[in-house]
Structure 1
Amino acid sequence: MTTTISATGRLTTVHTAARPVAALAGVVGEQRYAGLRAAAEDFRVRFAGRTIWTVSSTCTGGGVAEMLQALVGYVRDLDVDIRWLVIGANPSFFAVTKHLHHLLHGFPGRMTLGPQTAAHYEDVLAANAQELLALVHPGDIVLLHDPQTAGLAPWLTHAGVHVVWRSHIGTDLQNDATRDGWAFLRPYLQHADAYVFSRRAFVPAWLPAERTRIITPSIDPFAPKNQDLAPDTVRAVLDAAGLIEAPTRAAPAYLRRDGSTGTVECHATVVADSLPGPDEPLVVQVSRWDPLKDMAGVMRAFAEYVAPHVPGRLMLAGPALVADDPEGALVRAACVQRWRGLPPPVRGRIALASLPVDDVDENAVLVNALQRHAAVVTQKSLAEGFGLTVAEAMWKGRPVLASTVGGIPDQITEGAGVLVPDATDLASFGAALRGLLADASARQRIGAAAHERVRAAFVGDKHLLRYAELLTALLSRPPGG
Structure 2
Amino acid sequence: MREVPIGPTTLAPYLDALGRDRAEQLRTAADRTRKLLDGRTVWNVNSTGAGGGVAELLHSLVPLSRELGIDTRWLVIEGDTEFWDITKRLCTRLYGARGDDGALGPAESDHYRRVNAENAARLTEYVRPGDIVIVHESQPAGVIPAAKERGATVVWRSHVGADTPNQHTREGQRFVRPFVERADATVFLTARYVTDWAPSPRVIPPSIDPCAPKNMPLDAAGTLSLLSAAGIIAPGTAPGTGTGTGTGTGTGTGTGTGTGTGTGTGTGTAADATLPLTVPAPVGPPVTVRRPAVVLRQGPPPPASVPMVVQVSRWDRLKDMTGVLRAFVEADRPDAYLSLVGADVTGVCDDPEAALIFDSCRRAWEALPSRWRGRVQLVCLPMADLRENALLVNAIQQHASVVVQKSLAEGFGLTATEAMWKSRPLVASDVAGLREQVTDGEHGLLLPDPTDIGAAAEAIRRLLGDPGLAARLGTAARRRVDACFLPDRHLLDWARLFEDIVLTGEA
Distance 1:192 1:181 in 2: 17
Asked if 1 retains the 8 angstrom alpha-carbon contact of 2:95 and 2:162, the reply is yes
Shift of residue 478 of structure 1?
Answer: 5.1
Q: What amino acid is aligned across from residue 150 of structure 1 in structure 2?
A: A
What whole-Å deviation, never above 9, does each CA across 1:162-199 have from its counterpart, x for those lacking one? Answer: 10110111111111111110011111111101100000
Superposition RMSD in Å: 1.5
After superposition, residues 46-445 of structure 1 pair within 5 angstroms as 46-109=36-99, 110-208=101-199, 211-246=200-235, 248-249=271-272, 252-256=277-281, 258-274=283-299, 275-303=301-329, 305-307=330-332, 309-321=333-345, 322-413=348-439, 414-445=441-472
Asked if 1 retains the 8 angstrom alpha-carbon contact of 2:293 and 2:379, the reply is yes
Q: What amino acid is aligned across from residue 267 of structure 1 in structure 2?
A: P
Secondary structure of 1:407's partner? helix
Aligned residue for 2:491?
A: 464
Q: What amino acid is aligned across from residue 271 of structure 2 in structure 1?
A: T
What whole-Å deviation, never above 9, does each CA across 1:14-36 have from its counterpart, x for those lacking one? Answer: 11123223432323333322221
What whole-Å deviation, never above 9, does each CA across 1:228-265 have from its counterpart, x for those lacking one? Answer: 01111111111111111116245743234753223311
Secondary structure of 1:338's partner? helix
Percent identity (aligned)? 45
Aligned length: 466
Asked if 2 retains the 8 angstrom alpha-carbon contact of 1:416 and 1:450, the reply is yes
Deviates more, 1:54-63 or 1:30-39: 30-39
Secondary structure of 1:60's partner? coil
Asked if 2 retains the 8 angstrom alpha-carbon contact of 1:232 and 1:250, the reply is no
Shift of residue 59 of structure 1?
Answer: 1.3
Q: Does 1:20 align with 2:20?
A: no
Q: What amino acid is aligned across from residue 33 of structure 1 in structure 2?
A: A
Shift of residue 144 of structure 1?
Answer: 0.5
Asked if 1 retains the 8 angstrom alpha-carbon contact of 2:420 and 2:426, the reply is yes
- Gap regions ≥5 residues in structure 1: 1-10
Q: What amino acid is aligned across from residue 332 of structure 1 in structure 2?
A: F
Distance 1:133 1:54 in 2: 15
Asked if 2 retains the 8 angstrom alpha-carbon contact of 1:224 and 1:254, the reply is no
Secondary structure of 1:16's partner? coil
Aligned residue for 2:248?
A: none
What whole-Å deviation, never above 9, does each CA across 1:342-374 have from its counterpart, x for those lacking one? Answer: 100111100001111110000000100000000
Distance 1:248 1:256 in 2: 21
Please give the TM-score of this superposition, normalised by the length of structure 2.
0.89
Distance 2:170 2:231 in 1: 45
- Gap regions ≥5 residues in structure 2: 236-269
